[in-house]
Structure 1
């Protein structure tokens, strides 16, 4: 992250492109170099009210540790005013990977391979920094102007230290690993489980585990209750999914 100080006056704020329970994300342009960014504006009042201070700090500290990698959003600046915190990150010119999958229905083998190579490279880099993402899913994978992916949303991440406790994560339902559900344990393998779920979704068009309720989804995950459709799926993709979803 750059050491140069910034304030909200250094940017022209545009449209709101995303909204959460305690934050909004805006498209913004620097008045200095005219570069387009995404700026996450977090309400201090709502952070405290919803007890999210821990997750805000985790996201900031994790992105600072990761620095710059083409497959991960970069945190360029952070600043604050009386009411809000501001995170200035890469702008995703082509939205989320999930939106692309929904638009196309599913991705072909060549495009799936294109994104999986990038995803695995980025996750290996994250792990090399002793970080577990713990919430990998297509919604948290953004696409830049070249249609290359950038992993985002590190609020549930874990920075591993010598005495760290890697239990009790906040993974999303359809991508949560059996280890977390059965043993309340989430190590590096949880990210690879999520990669297996994402691979399945890219090539099929929907997650491998989908119940009518969250409980039934978890039951399917615990019992590895998924199957491939009857139409042709390359055997090497089936094999890789089966190796990841174990």
Structure 2
């Protein structure tokens, strides 16, 4: 019998982080105290709650390499995947149908709920930090980049590390903000962009002028979007309410 060599190719993503900007936590690993970057801890923790198929929407972390000036995160990069921002750019001449936007949003809401259940607040959900992975018969949503993440806290936050265009109205008005309502706002902003197809969301413009979609939405979809983008965080829907909204069911 002639031996057959099968080569498995694993595609990875590499992120270089200057050591001066790395935030570490000291942990005991194999009996030795070692410094581990918080971003790596947050990624591992966020992916700890799996889907029913045993997989996580959060991208996997393979390794952390310590170089002279940089720390390198070696992460999973699905072979057949594209950033949501790139996907929408390619589709700019043809709007997403509600059903396709719903399919993406349903997975994003589920991923956000699982991340919060794992006590992780991503804090920078946007098109560029979401991948669409093409698997046989399905498209999976994958979440990347936990550089702005932190632990979910019962106390409000005052400092904002995410993309300012997507900051919640609370922060725009120089008030404290909370993890749950902020994540809902981010998801509402993403949904607006999915349905609009051309314009990027901007919180300040939304608060001053309002942002109008130049298309007709179903009643359930319009209600869902309005609940996510309520400028009053106490009137904004929760992640659980998003998950059980008629539009997503």
| Pairwise TM-score range, normalised by the shorter structure | 0.7 to 0.9
| TM-score using structure 1 length | 0.72
Residue 63 (structure 1) aligned with residue 43 (structure 2): yes
CA distance in 1, matches of 2:73, 2:222: 39
Map 1:226-237 onto structure 2 (within 5 A): 226-229=211-214, 231-237=215-221
| Structure 2 counterpart of 1:5 | none
* Counterparts in 2 of 1:61 and 1:207: CA distance versus 1, 3 Å: farther
Residue 184 (structure 1) aligned with residue 171 (structure 2): no
Q: 1:137 is matched with which residue: 126, 130, 133?
A: 126
Q: CA deviation at 1:79?
A: 2.1
Provide the aligned C-alpha RMSD in A: 2.6
Q: Is the 8 A contact 1:38 1:88 kept in 2?
A: yes
Q: Is the 8 A contact 2:122 2:149 kept in 1?
A: yes
| TM-score using structure 2 length | 0.71
| Structure 1 counterpart of 2:13 | 38
Q: Is the 8 A contact 2:88 2:194 kept in 1?
A: yes
Q: Is the 8 A contact 1:39 1:89 kept in 2?
A: yes
Residue 117 (structure 1) aligned with residue 106 (structure 2): yes
CA distance in 2, matches of 1:96, 1:80: 27
Higher helix share: 1
Q: Is the 8 A contact 1:208 1:227 kept in 2?
A: no
| Structure 1 counterpart of 2:116 | 127
Which ranges of structure 1 fall in alignment gaps of 5 or more residues? 1-31, 211-216
Q: 2:60 is matched with which residue: 74, 99, 108?
A: 74
Q: CA deviation at 1:33?
A: 4.9
Computing the radius of gyration from Cα coordinates, the structure with the larger value is 2
CA distance in 2, matches of 1:127, 1:158: 11
Q: CA deviation at 1:103?
A: 0.8
